[in-house]
Amino acid sequence: MTATASTPVVLLVFNRPRLTARMLGAVRAAKPELVLVVGDGPRDTHPEDKARCAEVRQAVEKGIDWETKVLTNFSEGNLGCRERVSSGLTWAFEQVERAIILEDDCVPNLGFFRFCSELLQRYQDDSRIGCVTGDNFQPPGFQLEKSYYYSRYPHCWGWASWRRAWKFYDNAMKHWPELKRIHWLSGLFSNPLHARYWEEIFDRTYTRQVDSWAYVWTYSCWSQSMLSILPTVNLVTNVGGGGDATHCVDGPLLHRPAVPMIFPLRHPVNVLADFQADDYSQRFVFGACRPKGWRAWLPRFLTGLRPRRPL
């Protein structure tokens, strides 16, 4: 039994059977011995959802064709992105101590599973780390001597975490009003425009104008001073977007090619965020995939002049 196969994989699905089947093809290559499937139910306002959700669940049953144990957590009605993902992941981490997590539009390469599995093991008891992701959105030419770096941003297009970290997920964001009052974000960002950007995001998320579990997860990680691990090459391609996307319109981050990771992994010596890489992410990544239905508070060109490439 390999470390990769022994790491549970959580699949987040909804109403896109074609994308679900494609994602399952990538998971099949890793052949995890435990798969946990979380599915949302059809929306009352979308008559086509009932058939499409049923087709997705059939695709899951048909697509998981290797020897494995499958646990399912399907909602009969529609809970929405925030409630379904958060409740589904809470259920998953009640079953397992750690897991790799994939949404239906995320297609990883095989190295992603090994990368996550090895680092889940290495950082199992390190409370400084909240998650491992397979995403790298840095500019062309980004190079580091090590296989990964530490970041404040918990990207979630293919990621992994532990029960010990997910327990801090605060769906109600109950402390946000007080943290906003004391200008907490100003202590995280040297650029006041960046702090203001996230204050607006968290305000909209707290008042549920934005149906996002991912923003709540970002808030939860930051409130616990947890860092994320990001690979120095991109390991996951997001093939979503388009008319059937719930939250994300097409943008430059979608369809980013997945690149092989070189093993064995080369580990950083110090657990410190790469501020230069994070500065690039803040200025040129956030806003590239804009939520539907509401205006991004800051155009990206206002948050910086041009990217700096980490050395």
Sequence-ordered list of residues with C-beta below 8 angstroms from that of 190, at least 6 positions apart, any chain: none
Give pLDDT, residue 311: 30
Contacts 24+ apart (CB under 8 A), 122-126: 122/267, 123/229, 124/97, 124/98, 124/162, 125/164, 126/271
Distance CA 152, CA 155 (A): 9
If 0-12 CB within 10 Å is exposed, 13-18 middle and 19+ buried, where does residue 44 land?
Answer: exposed
Q: Answer yes or no: is pLDDT of 119 > 90.
A: yes
In a domain, 73, yes or no: yes
Q: Answer yes or no: is pLDDT of 246 > 90.
A: no
At residue 56 the predicted structure's pLDDT band, cuts being 50, 70 and 90, is very high
In a domain, 123, yes or no: yes
At residue 259 the predicted structure's pLDDT band, cuts being 50, 70 and 90, is very high
At residue 304 the predicted structure's pLDDT band, cuts being 50, 70 and 90, is very low
In a domain, 308, yes or no: no
pLDDT in tens, 186-222: 999 999 999 999 999 999 999 999 999 999 999 999 9
Residue recorded with tokens 């943008």 = 251
Q: Answer yes or no: is pLDDT of 143 > 70.
A: yes
In a domain, 210, yes or no: yes
Give pLDDT, residue 187: 95
Number of domains in the chain: 1
Give pLDDT, residue 299: 38
Which is more confidently placed, 306 or 63? 63
In a domain, 193, yes or no: yes
In a domain, 296, yes or no: yes
Instruction: Please state, for a pLDDT cut of 90, what percent of the chain lies above it.
Output: 85
Sequence-ordered list of residues with C-beta below 8 angstroms from that of 135, at least 6 positions apart, any chain: 155, 156, 157, 158, 159, 230, 231, 234, 235, 236
Size of the chain in residues: 311
pLDDT in tens, 282-302: 999 986 554 444 334 333 333
Q: Across residues 182-187, what is the average pLDDT?
A: 97
Q: What is the CATH number of the domain that holds 162?
A: 3.90.550.10
User: Mean pLDDT of all residues in the chain?
Assistant: 91
Q: Across residues 76-93, what is the average pLDDT?
A: 98
Q: Answer yes or no: is pLDDT of 107 > 90.
A: yes
| Adjacent-strand bridge partners of 160 | 100, 132
What's the predicted TM-score (pTM) here?
0.90
Spatial contact of 34 and 69, defined as CB atoms under 8 Å apart: yes
In a domain, 13, yes or no: yes
In a domain, 250, yes or no: yes
Which of 246-255, 274-283, 290-299 has the highest mean predicted lDDT (pLDDT)? 274-283
Q: Quick one: angle between helices 17-30 and 110-122, nearest 10?
A: 60
Distance CA 205, CA 82 (A): 10
Q: What are phi and psi of 250, to 5 degrees?
A: -60, 145
Give pLDDT, residue 196: 96
Domain limits for position 102: 3-302
